[in-house]
Amino acid sequence: MARPVIGIIGNSHLINDQYLTHAGGHMNSCAVSNVSKCLPLIIPADPALVSVEDLLDTCDGFLLTGGRPNVHPEEYGEEETPAHGAFDRGRDAVVLPLIRACVERGQPILGVCRGFQEVNVALGGTLYPEIRDLPGRSNHRMPPDGTLEEKFALRHKVTLTEGGPFHRLFGATEVMTNTLHGQGIKLPGQRIVIDGYAPDGTPEAIYVRGAPGFTLSVQWHPEWNAGNDPVSRPLFEAFGDAARDWAMGKRAPVRLSA
């Protein structure tokens, strides 16, 4: 049997400051292939090149990756400021409606960092432009110096709701994670359940209440060391299982109304 196809949302990237590419992190593809046991397929997040309908027909699930550009604040009804950083409006245009369609259909999604924030915004939530500027909050950004191992090192615990889906998946109500993000959830979107928090109160784990499929999303980066980390491995394994279930019972091709 062919492996389920996981669409990995790519990011626009310039090589040598002039050659435009659609890039996906190697560790994302490794986590999907080696841990989820699915076929990784990098998606160019550009509405001029792909449609939501095509993606839903082609893929069995989607990994909503991290990325330096942030969701544009217009997507959640706020004005752009310098604190909001850089943007990728093409990715906004593809991924936000894709999330809503997947939630409705039960097609699996796994949100990571920016992807976690996209799930919240897609369902009507808002974001803080810079977590570290809030009273009592920690600096969750990537350390500026050091090796990749040091930058992705486990830096804080996440406390999970007892009996919730993350607790059931990990077998613990406290886990250690890395942290490499600037923005974070301000107001949760409709049906967004915050199922885990950092010690400073920053939301770190969410799912969509009542969704018929897999919607677990995390603010940290589980793709790092996914095959060996006791938190990352069960998350990607469960995502792969959900994609296999979808592939086995795949519906007829979808056509969305305008």
Does 98 map to a domain? yes
How many domains does one find in the chain? Answer: 1
Query: Is there a contact between 217 and 207 (Cβ–Cβ < 8 Å)?
Result: yes
Confidence band of 82 (pLDDT split at 50, 70, 90) = confident
Average model confidence (pLDDT) across the chain = 93
Does 257 map to a domain? no
Q: Give 182-220 pLDDT, tens digit per residue.
A: 899 999 999 999 999 999 999 999 999 999 999 999 999
Residue 223 a catalytic site member: yes
Which residue of the set 84, 140, 167, 221 is catalytic? Answer: 221
Does 256 map to a domain? no
Query: Is there a contact between 85 and 71 (Cβ–Cβ < 8 Å)?
Result: no
pLDDT > 70? residue 254: no
Which residue of the set 75, 118, 204, 223 is catalytic? Answer: 223
Q: Give 92-102 pLDDT, tens digit per residue.
A: 999 999 999 99
- How far is it, in rounded angstroms, from Cα 137 to Cα 197? 12
Buried/exposed 41-73: b ≥16 CB within 10 Å, e otherwise: bbbbbbeeebebeebbeebbbbbbbbbebbbbb
Residue 149 a catalytic site member: no
CATH number of the structural domain spanning residue 64: 3.40.50.880
C-alpha 243, offset from chain centre: 15
C-alpha 132, offset from chain centre: 21
Which residue of the set 113, 130, 140, 167 is catalytic? Answer: 113
> Nearest CA to 180 among 135, 230, 146?
146
Q: What is the residue range of 211's domain? A: 5-248
Q: Residue 132 has what DSSP assignment?
A: G
